[in-house]
Amino acid sequence: MAEMGSKGVTAGKIASNVQKKLTRAQEKVLQKLGKADETKDEQFEQCVQNFNKQLTEGTRLQKDLRTYLTSVKAMHEASKKLNECLQEVYEPDWPGRDEANKIAENNDLLWMDYHQKLVDQALLTMDTYLGQFPDIKSRIAKRGRKLVDYDSARHHYESLQTAKKKDEAKIAKPVSLLEKAAPQWCQGKLQAHLVAQTNLLRNQAEEELIKAQKVFEEMNVDLQEELPSLWNSRVGFYVNTFQSIAGLEENFHKEMSKLNQNLNDVLVSLEKQHGSNTFTVKAQPSDNAPAKGNKSPSPPDGSPAATPEIRVNHEPEPAGGATPGATLPKSPSQSSLPAVVVETFPATVNGTVEGGSGAGRLDLPPGFMFKVQAQHDYTATDTDELQLKAGDVVLVIPFQNPEEQDEGWLMGVKESDWNQHKELEKCRGVFPENFTERVP
């Protein structure tokens, strides 16, 4: 008891809370059975429905915005690696090497700036917007409890008022054996005691009713003002959020376009210096290519048309637009081509594997479709997401409810977790597909 007292909790307080819960539960049962009327406010209920809808929409927008930011970060990483590749292959004696390196640095800075501004002007604003919902949701629930308390106090007071006449009749005409046996002078005292006791109960019930009504109305008035205002604020918030995203993306692409134009100018300069070189890019012939001298048939249904040979010539075009009399090189014979191995993956329909490739394998999770390997680290932003490190292998499984699958996301379990626990419920989660690559 001393410990409870030190924490501000007493046995009396606990008993009072338990009694409140019992009274509320009893009141709700009577209301559901139709034995007690329930205070209704249709306008407020509509406000609560709007609040729940607004919260659902905001939560989805926040999740999609985080997915968008994850994609921007992935694109930044891919662009950075591509520029690093260009820097490596760009030989020291080629013109424009320093300019190409500077363009790569500016490209990296532009991506970083774009990502940071999206976080500051969109994601943080989104977090602030959603931050007000938990408190209001808690107050809505508390208002509901106080409404039940008010209804219970009202019914208790009304029952005492209804029994008032019966009590007065009982006091006016003694019916108990004690009252009949008591002397005449004593009966008067008993009647006075019963009158005082009845009045005390009614006064206490009335005080409890007034108190419960006051608490409920204070909370109700505040929410009646806040909920419509919050609902109306959604329009301005959505406008500002998407305007910020659109404006940032527009400026980003403008600046990126300038960098791409500068890089193109550098490569044009390189091309002029080495313009005498001619090289040919040839398409891979298909297996059903016609024999030489035969007329090429139309491609079968569903198959791609034969890709023509592409010849790139850096030699300047002769004056007058005449084409040089160079002849196109002949395509290599089919027999000289190396064999091509095409890796296929099991077809899936609505998140399930055609033919059930993983249905009967005890070493893989039920419904296993294929494996992927993380190419980049991914930090989970929600409890239903997987935390990935580059190199992690994930066993991909279908969603239990295909309608819950968001575009660009997969469901899976890390192979290391599956081998250790063999429990999907604890280990599975969603992850962005563009952070991974399929493996055999």
pLDDT tens digits, 84-114: 999 999 999 899 999 999 999 999 999 999 9
Buried b (16+ CB within 10 A) or exposed e, 425-438: eebbbbbbebbbee
Task: Note whether 272 and 353 are same-domain residues.
Answer: no
- Give pLDDT tens digits for 301-334: 444 444 444 444 444 444 444 444 444 344 434 4
- Looking at the structure of the chain, the number of domains it has is 2
CB 388 within 8 A of CB 435: yes
Q: What is the mean pLDDT of residues 69-96?
A: 94
Task: Note whether 61 and 205 are same-domain residues.
Answer: yes
Q: Which of 254, 278, 302 is the last residue of a domain?
A: 278
Task: Note whether 352 and 246 are same-domain residues.
Answer: no
Distance of CA 218 to the CA centre of its chain: 35
Task: Note whether 266 and 366 are same-domain residues.
Answer: no
- Give pLDDT tens digits for 126-152: 999 999 999 999 999 988 888 888 788
> With a threshold of 0.95, does the pTM exceed it?
no
What's the CATH code of the domain at 408? Answer: 2.30.30.40
Say if 4 falls within a structural domain.
no
Write out the H or E segment, with its range, that includes residue 384.
none
101 is in which domain, residue-wise? 35-278
Q: What is the mean pLDDT of residues 170-185?
A: 53
Q: Which of 246, 278, 310 is the last residue of a domain?
A: 278
Task: Note whether 135 and 244 are same-domain residues.
Answer: yes
Q: Which of 260, 278, 296 is the last residue of a domain?
A: 278
Q: What is the mean pLDDT of residues 236-260?
A: 95
Which amino acid appears at position 16 of this protein?
S
Task: Note whether 260 and 364 are same-domain residues.
Answer: no
Say if 315 falls within a structural domain.
no
Say if 322 falls within a structural domain.
no
Say if 148 falls within a structural domain.
yes
**Site of tokens 């493996």:** 439
Residue 370 or 169, more confident:
370
Distance of CA 106 to the CA centre of its chain: 33
Measure the CA–CA gap between 167 and 183, rounded to whole angstroms. Answer: 21
